[in-house]
Amino acid sequence: MMARRKYVVGNWKMNGLSDALGEAQAIFSAAGAHAAVDVAICPPFTLIGAMVAAAPGAAIGGQDCHAAAAGAFTGSVAAPMLADIGASVVIVGHSERREGFGESDADVRAKAEAGLAAGLSVILCVGEPREVRESGGAIDHVLAQVAGSVPDSFDAQRLAIAYEPIWAIGTGLVPTVGDVAAMHGAIRGALSGRFGDAAANMRILYGGSVNGDNAAELLDAGDVDGALVGGASLTSAKFVPIIAAAAALG
Ligand code: PGA
C-alpha cells in the first residue's frame, strides 16, 4: 500500500462571487506551507475558470457533472468541460444532489465514470439520513450506496469516497469518532472485498460540520484520510486551520 496522503476538499456549494477569489488565493497560498496535504476547492461552476487563473496549479473542481460528454441537456455541465477549463476534480453524488435532484446510485456511478473518463479525480459521496442512523441501519445503507455507485474500474489515486452523514451536513452535529471510524472501516472493508489491494490506496474522507475545532479528532479516526468541508471552507480563516490539522497528522 502507498501511504495515503491526507486530502482536504472545500465544497463551496452555491456560494461565491468574483470577490471570493481572494479567499481561494489565500487558502492555496497557506496550503503551500503544508505540502503533506492535498487541498482542493470546488467552487460554483461560474468561478472555476477564474479560480484556475487566480491560483495556477491548484486543484480546483466542480460539484457535479453530467454523465454524458455532450448533448441536449440544458443547464448541465459535462466532465470534459470541467477539464477543459482547468478543473482537475469533480464531486459526484453529494446528498444535496441525491436528495434535491433525485440522483440514484446508478446516476452517481455514471457521473463518476464520466469524471474519470475525462481525466478528473472524483470524490464520490455517500451518507445516511438521520432516521436511518437512529434505526441502526447506517452502515448497511452506506454500503449499499457504495456498492451501487462506485464504478467497477478506476485508478485508486483518482477516486475518493466521502462519507457524509446527511444529518451532520450544515447542522453542527457530528457523529462520534467511534461511529466515524466504524463507518470508514466498513467502507474500506467493502472496497477491499470488491477491489482487493487497490482499496488500500483509496482515500475515504469524512464530511459534515467539520471545523477547525473538531478537525484534528475527526481526521485522526481510523480510516479517515481527509475531510470534505462545506461552510468552513468559504474563508481562509476557517479553512486553513482544518488544513493545518490534517498536516499535523501527516
Ligand atoms: P458542511 O458541509 O461542512 O457545511 O457541513 C459539508 C458538505 O456538504 O460537503
What mean pLDDT is predicted for residues 163-187? 98
- 11 CB near ligand 1 (under 6 Å): yes
Note the pLDDT tens digit of each residue in 54-68: 999 999 999 999 999
Note the pLDDT tens digit of each residue in 112-162: 999 999 999 999 999 999 999 999 999 999 999 999 999 998 888 999 999
Helix or strand (DSSP H, E) at 11? strand 6-11
Name residue, grid cell 459521496. 125
The residue whose CB lies within 8 Å of the most ligand 1 atoms, and thus the one to mutate among 11, 12, 41, is 11
- 180 CB near ligand 1 (under 6 Å): no
CA of 1 to the centre of ligand 1 (A): 29
The span from the CA of 239 to the CA of 221, in Å, is 19
Q: Which residues are catalytic?
A: 94, 164
For the residues of 161-219, what is the DSSP string, one character each? EEE--GGGTTTS----HHHHHHHHHHHHHHHHHHHGGGGGG--EEEESS--TTTHHHHH
Q: What is the pLDDT of residue 154?
A: 86
The residue whose CB lies within 8 Å of the most ligand 1 atoms, and thus the one to mutate among 173, 229, 233, 234, is 229
Of the chain, the percentage scoring pLDDT greater than 70 comes to: 99
Rg (CA), the chain: 17
Which residue's C-alpha comes closest to atom 6 of ligand 1? 230
- 208 CB near ligand 1 (under 6 Å): yes
Average pLDDT, the chain: 97
- 169 CB near ligand 1 (under 6 Å): yes
Note the pLDDT tens digit of each residue in 116-127: 999 999 999 999
Q: What is the pLDDT of residue 2?
A: 63
Q: What is the pLDDT of residue 1?
A: 54
Domains annotated on the chain, with CATH: 6-248 (3.20.20.70)
The residue whose CB lies within 8 Å of the most ligand 1 atoms, and thus the one to mutate among 163, 210, 239, is 210
Note the pLDDT tens digit of each residue in 65-103: 999 999 999 999 999 999 999 999 999 999 999 999 999
Q: What is the pLDDT of residue 3?
A: 79
- 209 CB near ligand 1 (under 6 Å): yes
E strands, 55-156, are 59-62, 89-92, 121-126
Q: What is the pLDDT of residue 250?
A: 77
The span from the CA of 101 to the CA of 6, in Å, is 30
